[in-house]
A and B are shown apart, each in its own frame.
Chain A
């Protein structure tokens, strides 16, 4: 018997996915596959339906046609609890209503394993503490999470997703509204976690360079570009994010540069040059 390579096993599959809000079609005929240990960067302009696609994967909306398979189970047949034991979600910048402590927010990650009449126990607190420790964030433990900086909040959300102990993590623009350094801190944390814990990651982002960042860091990454209700191109960043493709999808003239490092590695990066009129 040939042992299947773990990277070849599809963990999350979207088959011919179609979704509309009433009459408004959001996307149709979307096919995507994410294998174990792989990172999918979902690119696309504002309003292209990335967030709706993520909501469908999380089971919040149901597809009109097609299906989403999570570990070979259709998501539409799974309870919220079962889904939450397999997919964790890192939200965009969100409204923070009540000043919970960081520890209290992290413990919410244990909700999928906690029955409705109980609350997280000491073992859960230890889990949270060990993850705080692993990311060097122990000093945040008792801080008020509504008073954290944007970057710290995002790291707390990522830690909460880790405490959920799911094979898949879905992130919706985790670096939105972050400054230059904090964007990098969050990306570094993501790369480290994907590498150390063999996580499968689906990440919506506005920046094609994020895909190159992951590729540069040597983690298996795939790009999908979403626009006008469909997913248009797929492949590794090197294959998909060419100057021609970027010009046709973003209507931006770019230069993809490559900076050689020691050994065989090289860093790739997209330099935007100017926008083009899409009507032309």
Chain B
């Protein structure tokens, strides 16, 4: 297949998969029922209220949220990998995931209510990155290496705090809620969340989309980027803010879904190449498709809904090995 055609296919894949995902689920709604539902918009025909709510209030928001979360995590990971010139960096690099996880666990213990989980995890996710930045500032400039080191330190501090909260949590009630939240899920998807958490995700991903070509230049190193006319510190802060907003928005509604922010960008690199001009949009779409697909499988294989954090690795791992074999990892 020619490269442009393949690229186009990647870009439309979330739409195609998202459409088919509406047909999948435990509650039996046949394809003809769904077509009748769609047709009713034009014909004004009487509709089945249960079918309507299953499709438009359960499945559709879940598909939309899955696509947004998957895309946001993947695109932030790709941006961080370019910015820090390190292929092992993920969207949670600067501690945003651990911070958000801690915020969620804290909210579950303090209020025992999911309503408070979103602002707490979002807030602590941002706080963690802010802390990293502060650590990076201790040395003269915001050098990439001190930021990465700061991320490792802040991440491990928040991981320790999460363990502490698990230790003190009520083992029959709070502990399972924390553990399940940390494993990630889209099962609480609602339109209100898509609207509130969608704002930072869309803002962040759009910012990264806008600045994507400059990621190429920044990937050449600070000195070369500067000599090519780029204000390195300002651009770095912009990219970190965008990636953090996108990741924190994703994590606060879906929990910690590992793997997407690390490996999906590499899937993109193997399929499209390293040029961020094409890689950033492609990575968003691959991430969106991947997470919707994983969530479909989670919904179909068992009624108890396997947490996504488990499935992303179980499904992504073999696929990644297949890609590695096929492309011989030539993009590294």
Contact = CB atoms under 8 A, between A and B. Distances in A.
13 contacts: A58-B227, A80-B226, A80-B230, A84-B227, A85-B229, A94-B220, A97-B85, A98-B82, A104-B216, A108-B228, A112-B229, A119-B213, A119-B277
B228 A60 contact: no
Nearest to A92: B223
Contacts of A84: 226-230
B223 A108 contact: no
Interface in A67-119: 79-85, 87-89, 91, 94-95, 97-101, 104-105, 108-109, 111-112, 114, 116-119
A183 interface: no
A174 to B, nearest CB: 14
A109 B331 CA distance: 22
A91 B223 contact: yes
Contacts of B224: 89, 91, 94
A98 to B, nearest CB: 4
Interface string B321-332: 000000000111
Contacts of B230: 80-81, 84, 111
B220 A116 contact: no
Contacts of A99: 273-274, 330-332
Q: Looking at chain B's contact residues, is the secondary structure mostly helix, strand, loop, or mixed? A: loop
Interface in B196-241: 210-214, 216-217, 219-221, 223-224, 226-232, 235
A104 B275 contact: yes
A170 B221 CA distance: 17
A55 interface: yes
Interface of B: 82, 85-87, 210-214, 216-217, 219-221, 223-224, 226-232, 235, 273-275, 277, 330-332
Taking each of B213, B226, B229, B231, which has the highest tally of chain A beta carbons within 10 Å of its own beta carbon? B229
A203 to B, nearest CB: 15
A117 B280 CA distance: 13
A58 B228 CA distance: 10
B323 to A, nearest CB: 16
B227 A88 contact: yes
Interface in A207-222: none
Nearest to B86: A97
A173 to B, nearest CB: 14
Given A95-B221, A97-B85, A99-B332, A58 B226 contact: yes
Contacts of A109: 228
B7 to A, nearest CB: 15
A31 B304 CA distance: 76
A98 B219 CA distance: 7
Given A94-B221, A97-B219, 19 more contacts: A60-B226, A80-B230, A82-B229, A84-B228, A84-B229, A89-B223, A89-B224, A94-B224, A98-B85, A100-B219, A108-B217, A108-B220, A111-B217, A111-B229, A112-B228, A116-B211, A116-B235, A117-B211, A120-B213
Nearest to B275: A104
A52 to B, nearest CB: 12
Contacts of B87: 97
A164 interface: yes
A59 interface: yes
Contacts of B274: 98-100, 104
Nearest to A22: B140
Contacts of A81: 229-231
B154 to A, nearest CB: 24
A80 B213 contact: no
